[in-house]
Amino acid sequence: MCELLGMSANVPTDICFSFSELIERGGRTGPHKDGWGIGFYENKGFRSFIDPQPCCDSELARLIKDYPIKSHIVISHIRQANSGAVSLQNTHPFSRELWGRHWCYAHNGQLKEFEQLALCPAEQHAFQPVGETDSEHAFCWIMSEIAKIGPEEATSCDFAHKLKPKLDHLRSFGVFNMLLTDSVYLYAYCTTKLSWITRRAPFGEARLRDVELQVDFSSETTPNDVVTVIATEPLTDDERWTTMEEGELVVFRQGEMVCQVK
């Protein structure tokens, strides 16, 4: 299956350290060779890079790894295709606009009979998939359901409680691990594998699992920084990661966990 990587921080932060690990898993130390992508936010602005080539061999991925784009929220994905061809339109993360915000989403897993998730007709200007994947179809369905909840709930923990039954419904179709953001909140939902770690002062050193790379975060941060990283598998072998439970939804804002729904 695919792998996910997300970040929420209270200050603009680059994800170069964690992304270095993801690159190796994208076709070299892991089987996820069918494309990759990453999305960054700058206030309400959103930029994304997607590539159907293996991440480990991608010149674009090397650019991202070496170019420290700083952001409060990041979502990244490496793909092992099981639904839809290996192509640009099937490469995560996917994004849509709602309520004047860019929503970004990536999925790890496989959904059976996902066509049962009814989408509104295109002429009603509803969310429609561009590619053929179960992941994008589910995203369009989620966005349609979010639109029904209404913007007045979109910045509260009440919204997470209303969103979770929708995600549980998707889990009934198969494996559904997900990262979703509206540029302010980062939502992480687990079916099988998802872990997170929050780094704050006093910062220490960390070593990646698959890459000969170690960093001393104390030299890269200030005492007020708070950075949370979410990943399918823990990226470091010398830190304590929190493993999410099946059916758990966790919401982060500016690096802090603000809501947890089990």
> Amino acid identity of 38?
I
Handedness of CA 213, 202, 38, 45 (dihedral sign): negative
104 tagged catalytic: no
Beta strand pairing status for 205-207 and 214-216? antiparallel
Catalytic residue (one of 2, 55, 56, 259): 2
75: helix, coil or strand?
strand
157: helix, coil or strand?
helix
For residues 138 and 157, what is the distance between their CA atoms, to the nearest angstrom?
22
Q: Using an 8 Å Cβ cutoff, are 224 and 207 in contact?
A: no
For residues 200 and 79, what is the distance between their CA atoms, to the nearest angstrom?
30
Catalytic residues: 2
